[in-house]
């Protein structure tokens, strides 16, 4: 699955500018080079005709993928800003609707309030497919972003996805809205060309990652069913700095926590 995602990303959200932490942004801007292409580990085991149909579908929908990314980036889901909390929640519902449009099942989970009484955004879990004959991949992603303003040094409006010199700039475009959308785009492409998903997909999408993933660890500890039956977990949350840094579009990881239901390791700061 990741191979297809990588294939899709190469063209769909290529050159998207990282939306990560300020320090990394400054470093990336200083390099004057945004991201170019995702992982080159592209390999498709499908017969050529089917592969061609998939790739042709993806190629034909480039503009649509970029449009969707722009729509998502336009939601200023800044988790650190209490005034933006409605936008953070809106981003969660945006992802929920996108998964449901693919026929997926979704659930929102209330995870309580912050110490100041502000309600945390719900965590979204979802699934696409439940074939016991297939492996199950749990995808983690996040729907919130760091603050951003032109006054911070952005050359373009951060919440307006802007193409410049063949690159797409926008807060959250790669961290982490683009990667989330890429999974959905891949699933959509499979369905569109009549190919079954090779794996069952599950999602755990939070919207407080940029604020310490508040509520996530407790949620996972209280909901072992989120990881039950999961064969692989993909932390789909990475930076695409440049081809030379060899950052991958996404990493695979072992199951998020043991099937025994033991308390998961701390997730407040996942591997980057
Ligand atoms: Zn991230």
Task: Give the model's pLDDT for residue 51.
Answer: 74
Residues in the chain: 272
- Cα gap 3→8, rounded to integer Å: 9
Task: Give the model's pLDDT for residue 239.
Answer: 57
- Cα gap 94→167, rounded to integer Å: 24
Q: DSSP assignment of 202-267, as one string?
A: EEEEES-GGGTTTTHHHHHHH-GGGTTT-SEEEE-------GGGT--S-EEES-SS-TT-PPPPP-
Task: Give the model's pLDDT for residue 179.
Answer: 93
Residues of the chain scoring pLDDT < 50 = 1-42, 241, 245-272
* pLDDT tens figures, 20-31: 233 333 333 332
CA of 46 to the centre of ligand 1 (A): 31
Q: Tell me which of 87, 144, 188, 210 is the catalytic residue.
A: 144
Domains of the chain: which residue ranges? 2-253
209 as an active site residue: the answer is yes
CA of 150 to the centre of ligand 1 (A): 20
What is this structure's pTM? Answer: 0.76
Q: Tell me which of 12, 176, 209, 247 is the catalytic residue.
A: 209
CA atoms within 13 A on the CB side of 271: 13
CA of 205 to the centre of ligand 1 (A): 11
Task: Give the model's pLDDT for residue 48.
Answer: 74
Coil, strand or helix: which one is 66? Answer: helix
CATH says 2-253 is which class?
Answer: alpha beta
* pLDDT tens figures, 75-113: 999 999 999 999 999 999 999 999 999 999 999 999 999
CA of 188 to the centre of ligand 1 (A): 23
CA of 238 to the centre of ligand 1 (A): 6
CA atoms within 13 A on the CB side of 41: 12
CA atoms within 13 A on the CB side of 166: 5
Nearest CA-CA partner of 203 in 144, 256, 266, 262: 256
């Amino acid at each position: 699955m990741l191979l297809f995602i990588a294939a899709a990303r190469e063209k769909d959200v290529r050159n998207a500018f990282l939306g990560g932490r300020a320090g990394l942004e400054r470093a990336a801007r200083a390099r004057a080079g945004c991201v170019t292409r995702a992982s080159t580990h592209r390999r498709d085991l499908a017969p050529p005709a089917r592969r061609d149909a998939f790739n042709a579908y993806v190629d034909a929908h480039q503009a649509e993928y970029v449009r969707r990314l722009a729509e998502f980036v336009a939601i200023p889901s800044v988790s650190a800003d209490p005034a933006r909390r409605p936008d953070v929640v809106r981003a969660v519902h945006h992802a929920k609707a996108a998964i449901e449009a693919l026929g997926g099942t979704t659930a929102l989970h209330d995870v309580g309030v912050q110490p100041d009484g502000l309600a945390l955004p719900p965590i979204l879990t979802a699934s696409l497919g439940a074939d016991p004959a297939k492996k199950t991949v749990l995808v983690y992603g996040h729907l919130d972003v760091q603050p951003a303003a032109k006054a911070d040094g952005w050359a373009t409006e951060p919440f307006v996805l802007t193409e410049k010199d063949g690159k797409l700039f926008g807060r959250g475009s790669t961290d982490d809205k683009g990667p989330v959308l890429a999974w959905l785009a891949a699933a959509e492409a499979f369905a569109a060309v009549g190919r079954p998903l090779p794996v069952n997909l599950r999602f755990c999408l939070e919207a407080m990652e940029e604020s310490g993933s508040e509520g996530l660890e407790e949620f996972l500890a209280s909901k072992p069913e989120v990881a039950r039956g999961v064969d692989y977990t993909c932390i789909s949350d990475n930076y695409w700095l440049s081809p030379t840094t060899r950052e991958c579009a996404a990493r695979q990881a072992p199951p998020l926590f043991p099937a025994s239901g033991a308390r998961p390791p701390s997730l407040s700061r996942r591997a980057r």
